[in-house]
A = this chain, B = another copy of it.
Amino acid sequence: MPRIVTIRTVAERAGCSIATVSRVINRSAPTSAAVDARVRAAVAELGFRPSEIGRALKTLRTRTLGVVIPSLTNPVFAASVAGMQSAARERQHTLLLTATDYEPGAEAELVETLVAQNVAGLILTVADAAENATLDLLDAEDIPYVLVHNEPPHPGRAAVCVDNAAATFALTETMIAAGHRRIAYLAGRFATSDRARRRHEGYRAAMEKAGLEPEVPLELDYLGDAPSHAEALAGLFRAGAPPTAALCSNDLLALSVVGALRTLGFRVPDDVSVAGFDGIALGGAVHPTLATVDTPTRLMGERAVALLFAMINEGAAPRVEHLPFTLRPGGTLAPTARADQPASQGDRITSSPP
């Protein structure tokens, strides 16, 4: 039977009223030095810790942030949650974490659960930020929230993200500059998510600007087993004039694609160049290192918490915060034999800071 020591116990021990104990603990009103000392002593002796529940019931606000993400298994989301957790901890808050596991309809249910817990605010990564009944509900009930990874077209929705279209545009241009003409576009299971669409748009725009034909995106199961990927890629890369490069919509997929291509007997990057998106840590640990767009995922989580607190405490208006991305060169991306100009390994193209 936990919680036998309540504020009342402390009050008795210190010889004062519970109101005074509350005041001492929260410094919510001045108290005399004598009573202050007695209360603190009692708190220490009894090991008293005020119940967050009692507190929350009165104030109708917990020190808790609700989080909804698709899955923890993707290091991208894991990293943003890590950032949120650390930023929340700095502010004496904890995270109520839920994941949809890509189950449609789960978003609404999870948000409801979190709202029932009186969270101070929400941080979400949703499938589609444009048309989303759940977000409409939050807007209507005036519950503060911030999106992460999503790029809401709807202004008035707070979000922290990178410019996915610009990033893929830049990455694609780099590949084109390295001499690639046929660049396959391989998409993960996010094909329906808003950010996946934005990424694809960037690719298309860059190809068209260069007067090249954008390829039809090939959808692959995100981190499906390598054999299945090899099979799916065989048709494309064993055709007459195969692509010399593959742009993958995320890093997990890219790593798997590198493995699959090798299984098929292609050398990376000699026969086929590969690039990913996200900048997960592992991409730099494998050999050859993965060329990718480095996005500050952990920082995104931190910034999301900061923005959420600004909205809650200072009534800041919701805004979209674009974080800078970096093109990270890597061993998997090399110039073609007939490259117009060799890509310098040292170059790092960074988006202009917001």
Q: Which of A36-44, A90-98, A341-349 contacts B (4 or more CB under 8 A)?
A: A90-98
**Residues on the B chain within 8 Å of A114, using CB:** 94
The 8 Å CB contact of A99, one of B3, B51, B82, B99, is: B82
Verify A97–B99 contact, CB threshold 8 A.
no
Q: Separation in Å of the A23 CB from the closest CB of chain B?
A: 19
Q: Separation in Å of the A192 CB from the closest CB of chain B?
A: 21
- Check: A52 CB closer than 8 A to any chain B CB: yes
- Check: A350 CB closer than 8 A to any chain B CB: no
Alpha-carbon separation in the docked complex, A3 to B118 (Å): 8
- Check: A226 CB closer than 8 A to any chain B CB: yes
Specify the chain B residue showing the minimal Cβ separation from A78: B78
Verify B52–A116 contact, CB threshold 8 A.
yes
The 8 Å CB contact of A282, one of B72, B113, B143, B282, is: B282
Verify A72–B62 contact, CB threshold 8 A.
no
**Residues on the B chain within 8 Å of A54, using CB:** 57
Q: Which of A13-21, A148-156, A257-265 contacts B (4 or more CB under 8 A)?
A: A257-265
- Check: A310 CB closer than 8 A to any chain B CB: no
Count copies of this chain in the complex: 2
Q: Which of A163-171, A174-182, A283-291, A318-326 contacts B (4 or more CB under 8 A)?
A: A283-291
Q: Separation in Å of the A156 CB from the closest CB of chain B?
A: 18
- Check: A281 CB closer than 8 A to any chain B CB: yes
Alpha-carbon separation in the docked complex, A262 to B98 (Å): 40
B-facing residues in A30-77 (Cβ within 8 Å): 49-54, 56-57, 60, 62, 64, 71-73, 75
**Residues on the B chain within 8 Å of A117, using CB:** 52-53, 64, 94
- Asked whether A96 and B94 contact (CB < 8 A) given A115-B49, A258-B287, the answer is yes
Alpha-carbon separation in the docked complex, A54 to B54 (Å): 9
**Residues on the B chain within 8 Å of A71, using CB:** 82
Give A contacts to B, CB under 8 Å.
1-3, 49-54, 56-57, 60, 62, 64, 71-73, 75, 78-79, 81-82, 85-86, 89, 94-99, 101, 112-118, 141-143, 223, 225-226, 252, 255-256, 258-259, 262-263, 281-282, 284-287, 289
